[in-house]
Structure formats: C-alpha cells, structure tokens
Amino acid sequence: MVSLSTANLIGNLLFGAIGFVAFAYGKRMHVWKLMLGGLALMIFPYFVADTVLMYLIGTTATATLFFRST
C-alpha cells in the first residue's frame, strides 16, 4: 500500500530526482554503473512504504553512487 504522507512524497521526489540526474549523466558519459544506480534510485521508492526505511535506503544508495561511481 502506498503511503501518501508529506515526508514520503518528498522522499519519492528527492530520490527520484537524484536518480534521474545520475541516470542522465551516466548515459551521457557511457558509465553503466551510474545508469543502473540512477535507475535503482528512481524505482525503489515505489516498493518501500515505510518512510524511515525509504530514507535510509535512499541515503545509502546515493552515498554509494557518489563514492563508488568511478
């Protein structure tokens, strides 16, 4: 079941935007790690209903993309 709380919607928008930028940059630079990581960041909020868990997964995935992309 999808949660429509404000924090959950902001998290969806935030991690979706970060994922989109990572995907677009990876596509432009032909870096498949960034493309897959960005795609994962765009998709995962649809499968996680708990807000705290979504922020933990999103923060971890974003940090992993930032530190391990090259």
**28 — pLDDT class (breaks 50, 70, 90):** very high
Q: What is the pLDDT of residues 30-50, one digit of tens each?
A: 999 999 999 999 999 989 989
Give the global pTM. Answer: 0.88
Q: Would you call 3 helix, strand, or coil by DSSP?
A: coil
15 pLDDT band, cuts 50/70/90, is very high
Provide the percentage of residues in the chain whose pLDDT is more than 90: 81
DSSP 28-69: HHT-HHHHHHHHHHHHGGGT---HHHHHHHHHHHHHHHHHH-
CA distance 26 to 68: 13
- How is residue 4 annotated by DSSP? -
